[in-house]
Amino acid sequence: MSDAQVLTPAGTIDWNSDKARRRVRRRYAADRRLQAYGIIAIALAVGLLSVLVASLVRTGFPAFLQTKVDLPIYVDASKVDAEDPASGNYRGLIKAALNKAIPDVPKDQQRSVRKILTSHAAYILRDYVVDHPDSIGKTITLPIALSDPFDQLYKGVIPKHMDALNWVQEEWFERLQNRNVVVEHDGRTSLKLDVYVDPAAVEDGDYVDLARNSLQAYFPRVRDSSLFEMLAPDAPAAIEKAVAEDPAIVGKTVQIYFPVSEHYATLAAGEEPTILNPRFNEAQLAAYDVFVDKGMLRTPFNWELFFNADSRFPERAGLAGAIIGSFYALLVCFMLSFPIGIAAAVYLEEFAPKNRLTDLIEVNINNLAAVPSVVFGLLGLAVFLGFFGLPRSAPLVGGMVLSLMTLPTIIITTRAALKAVPPSIREAALGVGASKHQVMLHHVLPLALPGILTGTIIGMAQALGETAPLLLIGMNAFIPSVENMGLLEPATSLPTQIFSWADSPERGFVSRTSAAILVLLGFLVIMNLVAITLRQMFQRKW
């Protein structure tokens, strides 16, 4: 590009000189660099978005399925009273069914084996029997959800066995192997280490620190006590033995063979040392394997995720309560902010005189749109709960707080929509003798309505994702049943439910949280799609 001998030199720039050519090359390189930075920046932003979505989908997908076992249960008529099926001994029935399905479980292990099933199993059976009284005295096959660890195990989220050593520990050992410190001695994998046999330690008979120090000498920078797990528990005894054999070594530095602990020995043998996942015990896994071998397990779509309310147990927790709570709050928010927002926008855009007060209102609305959401939560807490004494955790209060937050959005978009209606329409209507209010109601508002609706839906979508203010007014209540929900009853919402689940330690809630986020994002996508379609359907060229 800088090969420019075509153009003859001119002025003070000799374009043909090497210097000029280098300079031009540099300038173009800088240009390309800037462009590359831009591409990198965009790639980063888009990449991070994809990582976000991908990690949510990856962790959330398993929660849309639920592992269930088709358990044949004999509904023993002696344990369930046909007159009053609600109060039978269903726990006993489940116990019996399990013992039948998995025979030969030792008595002391039966209890832990029962933990394979959800703690709710007896209630599932009870509900079924109450609905189907004719099943009493028969054997029925009922799909019963597995408890969280086994659900995760079946889905492959967590393993049966885990690596006993992490890769840092393996690296330590590898380093020792490379330095030929790891040797076979007396039929045991041992470390051949230099030990200074400290007379003071010999006197105390405490060889643990001696052994540790000699190992630490190979890793001067490692400050991790798990390093010493490399030594077998009887390693210090090796020093003791050596001292006993030859007391002359006290006060000298000698080589001593320390046996390594079990997992490292396995590693030295070229195998991957594993331990049983601490969530399970052998009896449970044996029982689980029976289910797997008999083909009793399957993973149907997890409708409970949508139709169950919250629960402490991941396999039973669902979003119904949160969805209903969010719906109520949004309903209140819409009922308040839609009419108020339109009325305010119409007034400010069409009727308000230009004076200090209306200027102030305008500035106010713009600033309100940028107030942190948590401050609205404080407002709700102090005014709605504190001053007016409205009930805590209620969707009514949540909706009121959310409506204060969406009002600016709705007012701003409504004003834009009103502005887009050409003045000729107003003038035409005014010209035939309509009053200003009539023009507004009969002509301008109907024309601006699609724009207003679009803005409202976008405002509602924002409100749906808002978390902090709802948290402050307590709309993160634990709602184990959807029966008693109302505007004034304690409730939760989708985003606060996500927050609560994200805080729960059970592994199953990680994937439920991701699933709940996917549901929330799904609602947001639908709302935005509706808004976009609305805008395109009614887009008018004036």
* Positions 261 through 320 that interact with other proteins (CB under 8 A): none
Q: What is the secondary structure of 167-230 as a DSSP string?
A: HHHHHHHHHHHHTT-EEEETTEEEEEEEEE--HHHHHHT--HHHHHHHHHTT-TT---GGGGGG
CA distance 333 to 115: 44
Candidate ranges 79-87, 188-196, 238-246, 433-441; the one touching other proteins (CB under 8 A): 433-441
- Where b means 16+ CB within 10 Å and e means fewer, 227-254 reads bebbbbeebbbbbeebbeeeeebeeeeb
Q: Which of 275, 360, 428, 529 binds other proteins (CB under 8 A)?
A: 360
Our CB check for other proteins shows the closer of 387 and 542 to be 387
Candidate ranges 127-135, 184-192, 290-298, 371-379; the one touching other proteins (CB under 8 A): 371-379
Q: Is 231 in the site for other proteins (CB under 8 A)?
A: no
Among residues 449, 439, 429, the alpha carbon closest in space to that of 350 is found at: 439
Spell out the SS3 assignment of 337-394.
Answer: HHHHHHHHHHHHHHHCCCCHHHHHHHHHHHHHCCCCHHHHHHHHHHHHHHHCCCCCCC
For residues 322 and 494, the answer to whether their CB atoms sit within 8 Å is: yes
Q: Which of 145, 510, 515, 519 binds other proteins (CB under 8 A)?
A: 510
Question: Which residues ranging from 48 to 67 are in contact with other proteins (CB under 8 A)?
Answer: 48-49, 51-52, 55-56, 59
Question: Which residues ranging from 382 to 411 are in contact with other proteins (CB under 8 A)?
Answer: 382-383, 385-390, 392, 404, 407-408, 411
For residues 463 and 406, the answer to whether their CB atoms sit within 8 Å is: yes
CB of 453 to other proteins, least distance (A): 18
Q: Is 40 in the site for other proteins (CB under 8 A)?
A: yes
Instruction: Tell me the site size for other proteins, rule CB under 8 A.
Output: 107
Our CB check for other proteins shows the closer of 324 and 344 to be 344
Q: Is 442 in the site for other proteins (CB under 8 A)?
A: no
Q: Which residue has the tokens 């039929």?
A: 187
CB of 40 to other proteins, least distance (A): 7
Our CB check for other proteins shows the closer of 251 and 339 to be 339
CB of 319 to other proteins, least distance (A): 14
CB of 210 to other proteins, least distance (A): 27
Question: Which residues ranging from 73 to 102 are in contact with other proteins (CB under 8 A)?
Answer: none
Q: How far is CA 197 from the centre of its chain?
A: 54
Q: Which of 82, 86, 374, 428 binds other proteins (CB under 8 A)?
A: 374
Q: Which of 109, 528, 530, 538 binds other proteins (CB under 8 A)?
A: 528
Burial of 506 (0-12, 13-18, 19+ CB in 10 A): middle
Cα separation values, 311 from 26, 118, 146, 205, 525, Å: 64, 12, 15, 56, 27
Our CB check for other proteins shows the closer of 256 and 418 to be 418
Our CB check for other proteins shows the closer of 36 and 428 to be 36
| DSSP 3-state percent helix, strand, coil across the chain (nearest 5) | 60, 10, 30
CA distance 447 to 418: 8
CB of 81 to other proteins, least distance (A): 29
Candidate ranges 151-159, 212-220, 313-321, 493-501; the one touching other proteins (CB under 8 A): 493-501
Candidate ranges 270-278, 283-291, 369-377, 534-542; the one touching other proteins (CB under 8 A): 369-377
Our CB check for other proteins shows the closer of 143 and 465 to be 465
Q: Which residue has the tokens 């030295």?
A: 268
